[in-house]
């Protein structure tokens, strides 16, 4: 109970502060996590336990996205998912491998295998950050949002083979997903009687019971996929797609929305907790260089993809910046690489801080970009009046 009070109090204090400053909610949650985490005031020490719970926020967010995508619409997005998603990931990984393997490796002493794995991990973006930024601006259902969702879905699927590759190269660690278990998990979701379960619960006409059933479906599917060695978020998304044409779709989305928001806030809090302030203080030149290099490389590639895919010019830069940060799967890959002796603990801590800081600065920079554009539009709007005077 004490930890819950600390988490809620830190969020209630910090998030309104960053909102008043015009920075958005995400930096507030990250700041709260830094303050109460083990590298701040030390009020919360068991960060892995909080991170495991907070991952449900990402699962629920992907479930809601799935509810908006009927199977026919998902198939229509195959270009964004498999085409643009794979292009972004492999192009970013190649460019980052050149930077880490060819330049920074000699400065920080990172092995070539570690540099390649870090590049693959850094090519992944944060689904939680990107979708929160899109939702705040009402862009989730625009062509920009559709392209972003496609790329993020590909990354969620691609993160699993990367984790498996770490275990294969290192000779241990992650349990490779069983093909049979994975197939059973998918079959249970696709062919299961989820519709019948929701219909049966609806008969009771109790809103709290319907909410409980919705949580059971989402969390149960996530646990099933996790047990099969697959992505829990992918399981949440898949069951959402299965229920996209259900007559209970809107009720399920309404029921889960408060839990999604709270758990996503907890997720951002947990990201703030893993920022090692000692590393940030001691190796700040590498952190700054890493964050700038990461955002610049991924941003340029994403901007090119946005232009090539035909997004409007005014959406290209926000799209590129919104997906340029590192992602939550990166932390899992870094930890697995350490377990398999492919990455040292100091290198893990350094690159994890780079990812966390990139997730913190992107919302701030996006706000700054929007203000610059607003001022530019105001100047253009006032210019004719001034000329007329």
pLDDT tens figures, 183-232: 777 787 777 777 777 778 877 778 888 888 888 888 888 888 888 777 77
Ranges 40-44, 338-342, 371-375: which has the least confidence? 338-342
Over range 241-254, report the average pLDDT. Answer: 83
Looking at residue 296, what is its pLDDT? 92
Residues with Cβ < 8 Å from 350, sequence gap 6 or more?
108, 279, 283, 286, 287, 290
Mean pLDDT of 153-177: 69
Averaged over 10-14, what is the pLDDT?
90
Please say whether the beta carbons of 250 and 240 come within 8 A. no
Own/partner contacts of 44-52, CB < 8 Å, gap of 24 or more, are 44/3, 44/6, 44/7, 44/273, 47/270, 47/273, 47/274, 50/3, 50/7, 50/266, 50/269, 50/270, 50/273, 51/267, 51/270, 51/274
Give the separation between CA 81 and CA 360, rounded to whole angstroms.
26
Of 178 and 387, the structure prediction assigns the larger pLDDT to: 178
DSSP-assigned letter for residue 70: -
- pLDDT beyond 90 at 40: no
Distance CA 91, CA 105 (A): 19
| Strand (E) or helix (H) holding 174 | none
Query: How confident is the model over 302-318, as a mean pLDDT?
Result: 89
Strand, coil or helix: what is 46?
A: coil
**Contact, 44 vs 7, CB < 8 A?**
yes
Q: Report pLDDT digits (tens) over 47-91.
A: 888 877 887 888 888 888 888 777 777 788 888 888 899 999 999
| Angle (CA) 265 23 319, round 5° | 85
Segments making up each domain of the chain, as ranges: 50-373
State pLDDT tens for residues 95-124. 888 877 655 555 556 677 777 888 888 999
Tell which wins on pLDDT, 384 or 186.
186
* Banded pLDDT at 301 (limits 50, 70, 90): very high
- Range of weakest confidence among 4-18, 27-41, 143-157, 229-243: 229-243
Between the alpha carbon of residue 352 and those of residues 4, 38, 63, 117, 188, the distances in Å are 25, 15, 27, 13, 36
Q: Between 1.20.1530.20, 3.20.20.70, 1.10.3720.10, 2.60.40.1170, what CATH number should domain 50-373 receive? A: 1.20.1530.20
Confidence tier at 176 by pLDDT (50, 70, 90): low
Q: Is the pLDDT of residue 300 over 90?
A: yes
- The pTM score is 0.76
- Mean pLDDT value of segment 269-274: 84
What is the spatial distance between Cα 275 and Cα 284, in angstroms, rounded to a whole number? Answer: 12
pLDDT at 254 over 60: yes
Interatomic CA distance for residues 128 and 318, integer angstroms: 16
């Amino acid at each position: 109970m004490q930890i819950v009070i600390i988490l809620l109090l830190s969020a209630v204090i910090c998030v309104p502060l960053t909102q008043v400053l015009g920075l958005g909610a995400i930096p507030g949650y990250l700041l709260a996590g830094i303050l109460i985490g083990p590298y701040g005031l030390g009020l919360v020490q068991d960060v892995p336990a909080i991170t495991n719970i907070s991952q449900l926020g990402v699962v629920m967010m992907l479930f809601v996205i799935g509810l908006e995508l009927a199977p026919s619409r998902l198939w229509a997005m195959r270009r964004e998912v498999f085409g643009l998603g794979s292009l972004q990931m492999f192009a970013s990984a190649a460019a980052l491998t050149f930077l880490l393997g060819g330049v920074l490796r000699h400065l920080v002493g990172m092995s070539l295998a570690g540099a390649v794995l870090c590049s693959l991990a850094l090519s992944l973006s944060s689904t939680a950050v990107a979708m929160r930024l899109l939702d705040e601006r009402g862009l989730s259902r625009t062509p920009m949002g559709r392209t972003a969702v496609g790329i993020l879905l590909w990354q969620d699927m691609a993160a699993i083979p990367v984790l498996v590759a770490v275990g294969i190269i290192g000779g241990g660690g992650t349990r490779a997903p069983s093909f049979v278990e994975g197939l059973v998990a998918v079959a249970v979701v696709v062919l299961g009687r989820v519709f019948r379960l929701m219909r049966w619960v609806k008969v009771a006409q109790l809103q709290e019971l319907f909410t409980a059933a919705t949580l059971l479906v989402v969390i149960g599917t996530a646990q099933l996929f996790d047990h099969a060695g697959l992505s829990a978020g992918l399981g949440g998304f898949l069951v959402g797609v299965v229920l996209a044409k259900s007559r209970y779709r809107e009720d399920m989305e309404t029921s889960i929305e408060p839990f999604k928001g709270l758990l996503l806030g907890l997720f951002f809090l947990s990201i703030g907790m893993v920022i090692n302030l000692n590393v940030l203080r001691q190796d700040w030149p590498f952190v700054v260089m890493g964050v700038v290099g990461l955002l610049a490389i991924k941003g340029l590639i994403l901007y090119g993809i946005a232009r090539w895919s035909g997004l409007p010019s005014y959406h290209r830069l926000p799209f590129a910046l919104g997906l340029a940060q590192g992602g939550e799967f990166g932390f899992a890959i870094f930890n697995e690489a350490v377990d398999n002796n492919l990455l040292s603990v100091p290198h893990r801590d350094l690159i994890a801080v780079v990812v966390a800081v990139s997730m913190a600065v992107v919302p701030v920079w996006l706000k700054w970009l929007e203000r610059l554009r607003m001022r530019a539009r105001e100047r253009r709007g006032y210019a004719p009046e001034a000329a007329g005077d």
